[in-house]
Structure 1
Amino acid sequence: MDELQPPSSPSGGPTGVVAVITALNPPADLPRRAESLRAQVDHVIVVDDGSGPDASEVFFELRRIGVEVLHHEANSGIAAALNTGVRAALALGAAAVLTLDQDSTLESGYVEKCLDSLRTASAAGRPVGFVCAHRMNGVDVPAQRGQNGIEPYDPMQSGMLIPVPTFHRVGLFEEGLFIDAVDSEFTLRVRHAGLTVEFAEGTDLEHGLGEQTPKMLFGRTLTTHGGATAFFAAHSPLRLYYVTRNRLITNARYARRYPSWVLHRVVDDMVFAGRNVVFGAAKWKSVKAIAYGLIDGIRCREGRATPRLTTKLTTRRD
């Protein structure tokens, strides 16, 4: 594996790292986060994946502070957006690419800790595919026991620091999945290539928790023991379709190589889907989304959901 450039020095030396942020109708504070990120990397690229006109001011401000903004004319999925940014980073001669979601914020020194972990693993003779956050919002990222000790179970792509040789060896992100399970598939492909996936020791990534929805059961809003409304991280029926379909495709692809991982993932996904069906507001539509996802997953149908299916799963009438 090619050796990375040294981490940023107190005088602001080069890191060899280019950050790629995917954006779709981004929050107004994205320029603030991008500005703080610039202190840790050589270059920041934001890929707009087909945002509406209301986002134009955010992208204008990003350019004003020196961030490179690339645009997709239409929503092409997070994998395609990541790949657009990675290709641009490779053209710049990056040594490593840091991938981030639009609602993620890095602590000070995050990139330097990632580079230190890469060097430590390299010195120990381990071929590292990428490193990821050790904690997220102050909570340990789920882990499993691997050949080299404790390693990430199914890391999220936001916060991954990926050395460029990894892309040369395994390729870019799987665009056919469009959204959901893109990070899982990439992680399994990296492991299948004989590379390790490791925590960057001491890192903590601040990440948005997604849509927090009140738990509903039999038409009633559930509460906690203290009387407050109970919330859970809900997914829309359309997202449930992608999650179901893409998990099935990915699990089938790697079940023979990683049977215990796949079994664990299936159980987690069943709990996740059940929580959305039981506690979500659009229960019947969620059931239909899961059914469509299972059918298309068995058929290995990839890409963006058809307009007809999208309409079925997004109209208000359940």
Structure 2
Amino acid sequence: MSAQTQTIAGIVIYHPDQANLLRLVGVLAPDVREIVIYANSAFSQQDEETLRAAAHGTDLSVMRPGSNLGLGVAYNVLLDHATKRGAPFLLLLDQDSLPPPGAIPRLAALHARLATAGKKPAIVGPRPTDWSGKPLRSPPEQEGGRDETKATRVQFVISSGSLVNCEVARAVGSFRADFFIDAIDIEWCMRANHLGYSIWMADDVLMAHELGRGLIRLPFGLLLTDQPPRRLYTFLRNQLAMLRMAHVPLAHKAKTLLALPLRVAAYLVHNRFSRETRNALWHGLIDGARGKLETRESVLGKSSP
């Protein structure tokens, strides 16, 4: 059995669109050993059976933690499951992504080529696009960024669509459960880079991905992801928490601090200074500065009036 067909795919869902989830399962099934759904919201047995039929014989199971424990917990549980099953790779996905058919063998082959070349890859991810096929903004490149294998070494990749080397992941350590959601992938990738591993984006593997509610376009070509107020809290809090982490590059910290006033102003204006937005940003600033992180779903209530 080849490495890519031993891959386990883990999909984290939260009130998903069933049609999109069915399509995603159908694309993944031919190229993985098993599909595991981690349900951070209620998911019926009937919907599970429908997904199992869409997998066409590929093992599919649903994990139901009973409440929304956040992405970090979900990733750690999925990684532990893949490790116990002896899988070389874990493919992380959320319900808002759709990789092309055959993406997993191509990402696994790139992993192998980079490993053979001594690059110590931790994660190889696709190049995300919007649903029209237009590439989304790329993360910063790392030194030695281009590779003859049509890959770019980057500071981080988004978690969805990322093929994680399970053995390397054990060395890098757990995903930040206390981040709950937002910047979990960024922090983990930066930690991996700091430990001597590398993060890569496959330039020729495109994956449709829905980023938040769209983009907010600012002067001078600047773009912000449009997020609901409750996500503004975790985004701001976690980015500020990363300022105290030694493995986070100084350039990223400087960029965070310089962009902070513009981000806050843009979100306030875009959301018409709503009370929910003001509360979310205020709590994010205060808790981020204090390093007060929570893992409970109640963290999303920080934006409530």
TM-score clears 0.5: yes
Tell me the TM-score normalised to structure 2 length: 0.83
**Which of 1 and 2 has greater Rg?**
1
The structure richer in helix per residue is 2
Look up the equivalent residue of 2:140 and give its one-letter code: Q
Matched, 1:209 2:211: yes
Q: Select 1:302's aligned residue among 266, 289, 293.
A: 293
Q: Is the 8 A contact 1:132 1:161 kept in 2?
A: yes
Take 1:278 and 1:6, find their aligned partners in 2: how far apart are those partners? 52
Matched, 1:161 2:163: yes
Look up the equivalent residue of 2:174 and give its one-letter code: L
Q: Select 1:98's aligned residue among 72, 85, 91.
A: 91
Aligned residue for 1:206, secondary structure, equals strand
Aligned residue in 2 for 1:142: 138
User: Structure 2 stretches of 5 or more lacking a match?
Assistant: 147-152, 218-223
Between the two proteins, what is the percent identity of the paired residues?
23
Aligned residue in 2 for 1:218: none
Deviation at 1:238, TM superposition (A): 1.7
Take 2:166 and 2:111, find their aligned partners in 1: how far apart are those partners? 12
Aligned residue for 1:62, secondary structure, equals helix
Take 1:116 and 1:141, find their aligned partners in 2: how far apart are those partners? 25
Q: Is the 8 A contact 1:79 1:182 kept in 2?
A: yes
Q: Select 2:281's aligned residue among 285, 290, 295.
A: 290
Q: What do the CA deviations read for 1:59-114 (whole angstroms, capped 9, x no partner)?
A: 33224444211111111111111212221111211001110011111102211221
Look up the equivalent residue of 1:251 and give its one-letter code: L
Q: Is the 8 A contact 1:63 1:69 kept in 2?
A: no
Matched, 1:113 2:115: no
Take 2:301 and 2:82, find their aligned partners in 1: how far apart are those partners? 36
Structure 2 CA distance for partners of 1:300 and 1:168, relative to 1, 3 Å = same
Take 1:311 and 1:86, find their aligned partners in 2: how far apart are those partners? 28
Tell me the TM-score normalised to structure 1 length: 0.80
Take 2:125 and 2:260, find their aligned partners in 1: how far apart are those partners? 22
Moved more, 276-285 or 181-190: 276-285
Structure 2 CA distance for partners of 1:128 and 1:109, relative to 1, 3 Å = same
Q: Is the 8 A contact 1:46 1:67 kept in 2?
A: yes
Deviation at 1:271, TM superposition (A): 4.1
Deviation at 1:175, TM superposition (A): 0.4
Aligned length: 286
Q: Is the 8 A contact 1:130 1:163 kept in 2?
A: yes
Q: Is the 8 A contact 1:62 1:69 kept in 2?
A: no
Structure 2 CA distance for partners of 1:270 and 1:118, relative to 1, 3 Å = farther
